[in-house]
Amino acid sequence: MNYFIPFIILITVVVFIHEYGHYYFAKRYGVGVTDFSIGFGREIFGWNNKFGTRWKICWIPLGGYVKFFGDRNVFSQAEQLEVINKYSEEDRKKLFILKPLYQRSIIVAAGPLANFVLAIIIFSIINMLVGKDMTPAIVNDVKIDSPAYIAGFKKNDKILYIEKKKVQSILEVSTFINISTSEIINFKVLRDNQEISLFVKPILVDGKDSLGNKAKKRIIGITLSPLTNEFQKQPLGPSKAIYYSFKEVWFVTTTSLNYLGKMILGSADSSQLGGPIRIAKITGQVAEYGIIPFFSIMAYISISLGLINLFPIPMLDGGHLMFYFFEKVLGRPLSQKTQEGFFRIGLFLLVSLMFFATFNDLKEIGLF
């Protein structure tokens, strides 16, 4: 229960923001919205607003949806005419399928984009109120015969870049090392006022993350410590806070895409891919550390939800955007047979991904 409640709060907020992105632009462009649901399945409770939208909470809290007035898949001109003829001229103005292509695209894309905006807002508030760590990454010790020792690391080296990523905090070093999928990692360090490039081949070990969960870690054999034994957290002004928030969202997005690409090619550790069980566990563990860590993990989950929904897979927002792209290029929607083929492929991919992620979750908790 300690894990379940924080998870439900987090997923409800993230899903609500996503669906509200769709809802906001649908209303802006005059599309009728009949349902705004958090969760799937049977309704627990709900209410109708003055525009006729049913806002409701349902039993299965793993998602949500916004249902448009007259919503259905329309593959051909004949089917479209059939739908149009069912409604009066006034009601036709509320039909999503009759809106210009650019408006339909914005409405669909607004959900994932809302998730990115939520993450930027959360990171910005944290950067302004709590501050961002700016402690230089100074090497305090190099373990004898370790990968770092072999590569030429020395005490008091200041790490400037890892794989061309600028290191602005001591806390980023471990992150950059572990997200790298390169066999040999390029470090740039400052030594005696000179920049030196060092190439390190990390070793992979079974360890634990900061929450105590099993994780494979890449280590190089160095110990870092602040010069004054204190971390230098600096509260930022609004402009800098937003700037670093954009950078964090961009970093998480590109890193996730790189990891997924490497995983598909077989060069990344697929055991780190988790599903709802792992997310719920990590959310509960993070929540025990306080409200700031909880909102931080909410931002990261929001980015993940937005990114996944932009994948060009039918049934996801990215799949609809892919169809709209073909519609723009061809001057007409794809045929019913073609769209149905894409939907079958999309369903197979989603089910496979969910099965694989859930298998990893169950394996981690010892059921496999």
Residues assigned a catalytic role: 19
Going by the DSSP 8-state scheme, the letter that residue 76 receives in this structure is: S
CA distance 356 to 275: 8
CB 146 within 8 Å of CB 221: yes
DSSP symbols for 91-130? HHTT-GGGS-HHHHHHHHHHHHHHHHHHHHHHHHHHHHHT
DSSP symbols for 141-154? EE-TTSHHHHHT--
Kindly state the tokens that stand for 368.
């496999």
CA distance 109 to 101: 12
CB 59 within 8 Å of CB 42: yes
Nearest to 317 by CA among 307, 331, 326: 307
CA distance 290 to 226: 24
CB 38 within 8 Å of CB 12: yes
Give how far Cα 9 sits from Cα of 14, 16, 287, Å: 9, 11, 11
CA distance 56 to 33: 13
Instruction: Give the CB-side neighbour count of residue 213, counting CA atoms within 13 A.
Output: 20
Give how far Cα 144 sits from Cα of 71, 148, 149, 154, 220, Å: 66, 9, 6, 11, 11
Rg (Cα) of the chain, in Å, rounded?
24
- List all residues 6 or more positions away from 168 whose beta carbon is below 8 Å from its beta carbon: 134
Write the Ramachandran bin of 39: left for phi over 0, alpha for psi from -120 to 50, otherwise beta.
left
